[in-house]
Amino acid sequence: MKIPLIECIPNFSEGRRKEVIDAIVDSANILGIEILDIHSDKDHNRSVLTLIGVPHQVEEAILNMFEKAIELIDLNQHTGTHPRIGAIDVVPIVPIRNISIDEAVKLSRRLGKKIYERFGIPIFFYEHSAKRPDRKDLPSIRNIGFERLKEEIIYDDYRIPDIGERRLHPSAGATVIGVRDFLIAYNILIDTDDIEVAKKIAYKIREKTGYFKGIRVIGMFLAEKKKCQISINVYQPEIVDLDILLYNVEKLSKIYGTRVLESEIVGLAPYENIERVFKNTLKIRDNVKNLAIEKRIFDNVDELKLLISSIGSRMPNMGGGLAGGISLALGISLWRKAMLISKDINYDIKKIDQYIDKALNLSKKDSEAFEKLLKEKNFEALESCINVSMDFAHVCINVLNDIETIVENVSEDIISDLGIALELIRSALNSSKYNILINLKHSENEEYNRSVLNNFRQIEERFIFLYEALTSKISLRL
């Protein structure tokens, strides 16, 4: 089972005060979240955080960030070269695996609603989440900045937020949220302090006024470096070659009497878009693997932690049934270990592997059955959930029947693991019991309910008899 995974890249309006940056980033560091990258810029006075995690946990992490950012950032006191309208300015969401664009859009809308209800920050949606076709791209929403939006939101109908009243949060402004495709944030530093030169280069290459499709560009002056920067968002990386883009900026720089010093990627980027041209052509100091999102995911994502956090999240289809299935698979796996370490036991290991596959497949079926029940809310869907729980119970009793045949021959060195296996399998049986009982509460078919309970009780009675006999034998050998 692949746990749903999304990337989120919240941009917040602080790039100078390390203690504030650390506090906001730390607020997002919860179970089920992996922090992949943090990029802060003093001139922009802005930080870009890249995190990845289970969808519901990403929601919680972002809400934590808002709470901390409201406490520590006041846009009325904020200055920086980068356009912004919010303390948490923009929250891009990128589906990574096992979650569709439509599902991610629903998540973004739900998140926006929670942010407004909890903090009073008006929300604008963009890209795939946009509610208005004329406000799909980010610049169309953010182009006037916090100070002007504070006034224009009151009288300009174009500035009416998608969620919230026609007024900004007094210190945190507004926020733009949306599901988008992979984007490369790419900055090129040029050897001049003349902002007009930077603006001319930006004008020549941006999509709306120049000759590159799939990019958005602004020119800005960096007071810290006393140089100008061409700040580029490559929102269609599949049609933009970064080396050709840089070549054109170099050519234009020479025309305007300056030169390119270096470039940088903000956050992470797909490996295939940067590997070929990284070091020499792009004049980037960092290592290509450090900026490749695939590499960061591979190195940082802990699948076990993701699984545990998904069970502990609000995800409705990952609960007791999944936990019971994992408990059963773990118990059977420990039994397998005991078999391998012990000698002279005549039992087919492949049968144990089939039990493990069955337990894992039932875990998946349990999630699917519950999703179906949530959508259809009928007896057929309810029956499917109960049937899966009964299948779990049958596997539990079959496994104990087989363990009974070999328990005497298990090595003393591993007998404790077999005891632990029994406890895990017993936990799995109890999980199926509780799921059956909770689901039968919603069934009005009394005859069906009695039949299910009678069948389960027969399994449970046999299981308890075997469990007590086996645990007694194991305890005598410890």
Identity (one letter) of the amino acid at 90? V
Burial 145-160 (b: 16+ CB within 10 A, else e): ebeebbeebeeeeebe
Q: Which of 82, 128, 169, 394 is catalytic?
A: 82
Q: What is the CA radius of gyration of the chain?
A: 29
| Tokens matching residue 18 | 């390390």
| Tokens matching residue 15 | 């790039």
User: 297 — phi, psi (to 5°)?
Assistant: -65, -45
Angstrom distance (rounded) from CA 162 to CA 111: 13
Q: How many CB atoms lie within 10 A of CB 442?
A: 12
Q: How many residues are present in the chain? A: 478
Angstrom distance (rounded) from CA 203 to CA 199: 6
| Tokens matching residue 235 | 């929102």
| Tokens matching residue 137 | 């791209």
* Residue whose token pair is 């891009």: 92
Active-site residue, 44 included: no
Identity (one letter) of the amino acid at 59? E
Q: Are 37 and 293 in contact (CB under 8 A)?
A: no
Q: Determine what percent of the chain falls in helix, strand and coil, rounding each to the nearest 5.
A: 55, 15, 30
DSSP H stretches of helix in 409-445: 415-440
Q: Does an H or E element contain 126, and which?
A: none
Q: Does an H or E element contain 216, and which?
A: strand 215-222
Identity (one letter) of the amino acid at 87? A
Identity (one letter) of the amino acid at 28? A
Q: List all residues 6 or more positions away from 117 whose beta carbon is below 8 Å from its beta carbon.
A: none
Q: Which residues are catalytic?
A: 82
